[in-house]
Each structure stands twice: as C-alpha cells, then as structure tokens.
Amino acid sequence: MAANECIPLHGHILCLAASGVLVRSRFILDGDRVHGPDSDYTCLAITGLCALEEECEVTTIQCPSEVDERVIAAYGFNVVSEDGEWKIVVHKDASLSITKDSSMIHSTAEDGEEMDAAFHLEMRRAWDEELRSVSQGAYVSEQQYLTGLESRLRLLAQKDGDNYFWPGRENNREMNTLPLPRRGIIESWTESAAAGSPSEFAFRSPILNGMTTLLLTLECGVKGVFLLADDEEKKPEIGSLVELVVRRIYAQEGLIRYGLKALY
C-alpha cells in the first residue's frame, strides 16, 4: 500500500494511506533512513498513533518488541499482547506502519535531511554507554520511573477552580485531573557546559555541546522546565512557540527513560 500524502509531525514525517499511517524519521544517512539523535521506534509510534486518533477510533494496539509498550500505554493507548485491532509494524529502516492487517505502507516521496555520519555514530555509541552506566547523580529506580510515566507523558495536572497544580500532589480535596496542552512559549533558557551536565547526560552532552533547558509557559498558563530536543540545532529565542513531543531523555541500567522535550 502506498501513502498518498506526507506531512511533518512531531519532528518526524507522517504519511497517510487508506489502510493506516506510515511514520518515518526525517533523517537520511547514505540514502537510508536513520533515527534522530534522541528518537527511536517508540517515539515514531507515538506520533503515528496520535495522528491516527485524529482520523478514527483507536481501540487496541499491538506492539512489536522494538516498541516500548509501557510508554504507549502510559500515553493513553490500550495495548494488548495479541489480536490488537491496530498493529505496529517496524520497517528495516527508521520507519514503521500502523495498520489493521499488519501490512507495510510505503512512500516514494523524496523528503528528509542528511545527517552527519560522524555525529550519528557518536550518538549511537553514547546511548550504548548510557545503557550500561550506573547513575552517579539523582538515582531514579525503574519502579519510580514507571510509576510516574503516565503523569509525565500526558502532563497530568490537578485543577481546582481556575488554579492548576502541576505536577499533581497528594491533597484531601477532590480536584479534577486533566492533561495540560503540549504547546508553550519560551520564557527563558540556559545551556549547560559540555562537561558540566548531570551524569545522566555525560556521554551525550559533549557531542551536543551542552544540554539546553527551557522554561516554558504552557497555553493554560502553567510554567514548566523541559529539555530541548537533541535534533534542534537552532538557538532558543524568548517568545518562540514550541511543542512538547515524546523523546528519549536518558538511559540507565539497561532502560531507556522517555519523556517530553521541546521542539520548534
């Protein structure tokens, strides 16, 4: 099945077809699609499912081993181990299809941007080193990470009248819980030195020339601090509008930790 329309979405390329969606990385290396510096099949799957949900009802999802089903479920989708109505099928390159019959969608559109080969290799090695590393800073166990994953990915806040409480907290009063908008304005930003980043980013920070952190005011008025996506080469500008997308945050003890990053 061939896609008939391709658009940029969440820093990826989304292609729509009658049978479902194709999502692929926007980066190309020696003619092949490769993942962005902090992206993978799980990030692509979230983008595809969000787009699919805009077009039709998304009931149950079946994930391959290359996609972290805990992240998909935490984002709000109903993941099942077998016989899911929608199947995520990964391709050999940095792309995947989401269809009901496990078919692959393809596109001949000539889109994408060339990635520097040395940068790509350095980032892959850095992630591999992170996966084998032990935290030297604020340790977050796998259980702690998974417990708070839904709240982080969906930006769940409590609302009492006109007041938002985010992150949510224990409170004796009954308050509505709702997701915050994933768009905001840059109020300020800072960039750590390449050698001065927290230990969780010690392998990648020198390659990225430091880690950039943004203070955002979300569209509802709530303020929050988020990392800039690793594939953003532009310097942040105060007053600019950004969106929050799912990306790899860091790796530790064999587990990739996902969260929201800011993307222009």
CATH number for 203: 2.40.50.840
Q: Is residue 222 pLDDT above 90, yes or no? A: yes
Shared domain check, 46 and 149: no
Q: pLDDT band for position 1 (50/70/90)? A: low
Residue 94's pLDDT is what? 97
Residue 52 lies in a domain: yes
Shared domain check, 235 and 194: yes
Residue 3's pLDDT is what? 63
Residue 121 lies in a domain: no
Shared domain check, 199 and 108: no
Amino acid letter for position 255: L
Q: Is residue 172 pLDDT above 60, yes or no? A: no
Q: How far apart are CA 71 and CA 150, in angstroms?
A: 8
Q: How far apart are CA 117 and CA 32, in angstroms?
A: 12
**pTM (2 d.p.):** 0.94
Q: How far apart are CA 33 and CA 115, in angstroms?
A: 10
Q: Is residue 136 pLDDT above 70, yes or no? A: no
Shared domain check, 25 and 111: yes
Averaged pLDDT, 172-194: 87
Shared domain check, 143 and 74: no
What is the total residue count of the chain? 264
Question: What's the start-to-end Cα distance of the chain, in Å?
Answer: 32
Shared domain check, 140 and 100: no
**What range defines the domain where residue 90 resides?**
5-115
pLDDT in tens, 110-119: 788 999 999 9
Shared domain check, 46 and 161: no
Residue 110 lies in a domain: yes
Shared domain check, 139 and 110: no
Q: pLDDT band for position 2 (50/70/90)? A: low
Instruction: Identify the DSSP state of 145.
Output: H
Residue 146 lies in a domain: yes
Tokens of 224: 């929050």
Residue 234 lies in a domain: yes
3 state SS of 24? strand
Residue 137's pLDDT is what? 67
Whether the upstream peptide bond of residue 167 has omega within 30° of 0, thus cis, is: yes
Shared domain check, 259 and 140: yes
Q: Is residue 261 pLDDT above 90, yes or no? A: yes
Higher per-residue confidence, 23 vs 196: 23
Shared domain check, 196 and 140: yes
Q: How far apart are CA 112 and CA 30, in angstroms?
A: 12
Shared domain check, 173 and 88: no
Shared domain check, 237 and 145: yes
Q: Is residue 141 pLDDT above 90, yes or no? A: no
Q: Lowest-confidence range among 16-30, 56-70, 125-139, 164-178?
A: 164-178
Average pLDDT along the chain = 91
Residue 237 lies in a domain: yes
Percentage of residues of the chain with pLDDT beyond 90: 72
Residue 130 lies in a domain: no
Is residue 145 exposed (0-12), middle (13-18) or buried (19+ Cβ within 10 Å)? middle
Tokens of 192: 């750590």
Residue 120 lies in a domain: no
